[in-house]
Amino acid sequence: MVTNHVYTIAGAKGGVGKTTSSINLGTLLAAAGYSTVVVEMDLAMANIVDFLDVDIDTDEDATFHDVLAGNASVTEAMYETDADLSIVPSGTTLEGYADTDLDRLPGLVETLRWHHDIVLLDTPAGLSEETIQPLKLADDVLLVSTPRVASIRNVSNTKELAERVEAPVRGLILTKSGTGASPGADEISEFLDVELLGHVPEDDAVPHSQDSGVPVVQNAPSSGAAIAYERISEQLIDTAKASTDSTADATTEAAPGDTVPTSHRTDDQAHGRTTESVETTDGGRKIRRRDGIADDGGDRPADDTATSPASVSGPQPADSKENTGTAPVIDGTDLVDSEPGPVDRPDRDVALSDSTAETSQSTTDGSGHDAPEFALDPAIDSSSDSQSNDDADAGGSGAAGLGERMRSLFGL
């Protein structure tokens, strides 16, 4: 079964459906019984709460801004939808954004991985550090693109960046398919050299569902978009099952006294946490996880005097690599006394050519965050997301003329 898996959902172009895909896939995985959390990595332009009918005031309630600033625990910034999908929304204030520290992200993701079957990192547009760091932390990357030439070019850049940081690319989700004179899904998949997980058709049910605050897979389950997301989620589950089954033998001969980790958790007690439901005056529902996950990587420590439920056993990370360290704790108590800590994930540094390394320098992205300390190739231009015309400049990206190659391949 699926355990402790991190998917980073990425695509450099804005408005292609990364957040919509994160919400709908997360909803389906949660409905299938997998403990799933979506983390909004768009720290500057948060919008995930606009797509969900949850009563959260991102100016007042705890958000991922507060967590990354060290002012709140990840538990305090975690909320739950009616579909049992957990979300960690970003904040909306410039002050909160300025206080964030991405150095906390690896520890926070490992903590979330430890307590959930699936973690979905919903990345922003562009190729900023807020995209690069989640790529480095991913077990698999899900690329999202529309069939438009500019979007294909930008997702190609994202794929190249994922390869540089050695992040495995699981496949492509093609959204808004069947629009205009765009190339076919199979052609795009072949051009990008990635597996096509599915294509989500242009469907009026999607914006209608967003306006109602309900994922399309719940609001219009018979729609073309909902069916497409259902098929994609089934592929993710099947792949994860096959991957986990291959390591089953390693857990069948546990030493005496070892605790067999929970591999498929469907309720809050399995995480050692409780939820509190708050009815609002307008009939909405806000659920905040009040206790449970103790943060890792610089957040507020757990209460040392608290005691974890006796039934709690710590899930072991799915990959079987030997690791050392201290496992995250629940309410100040180690999950398992002899259990190894979170996966000691290898550093994923961008591979640089000699010529690139010579020109590498530390810059800032204008928000106070350090930009990645490497020089991007001409074909990887983080400013490409701001283009106002999807196709007019498609031939001018990169020395190899990526746009011209796409036009030639697709007969545009």
Q: Say if residue 24's pLDDT is above 60.
A: yes
Asked if the structure places residue 17 within a domain, the reply is yes
pLDDT at 243: 52
Would you say residue 48 has pLDDT above 60? yes
Asked if residue 318 lies in contact with residue 265, where contact means CB atoms within 8 angstroms, the answer is no
Give me the torsion for CA of 178, 47, 55, 20, rounded to 10°: 20
Structural domain containing residue 243: 5-249
State the pTM of this model.
0.65
Give a yes or no: residue 289 inside a domain: no
pLDDT at 242: 53
The pLDDT value recorded for residue 356 is: 37
Q: 245 and 391 share a domain?
A: no
Domain closes at, from 215, 249, 283? 249
Residue at a domain's end among 249, 268, 283: 249
Same domain, 213 and 72: yes
| Residue 363 or residue 63, greater confidence | 63
Domain presence at residue 238: yes
Instruction: Please tell me the distance from the alpha carbon of residue 149 to that of residue 406, in angstroms, as a whole number.
Output: 7
* Tally of structural domains, the chain: 2
Residues 238 and 376 in one domain: no
Reported confidence tier of residue 241, pLDDT bands at 50, 70, 90: low
Q: The CATH number of the domain where 97 resides is what?
A: 3.40.50.300
Q: What is the mean pLDDT of residues 390-407?
A: 46
**Rounded mean pLDDT of the chain?**
71
Whole-number pLDDT of residue 65:
96
Same domain membership, residue 234 and residue 360: no
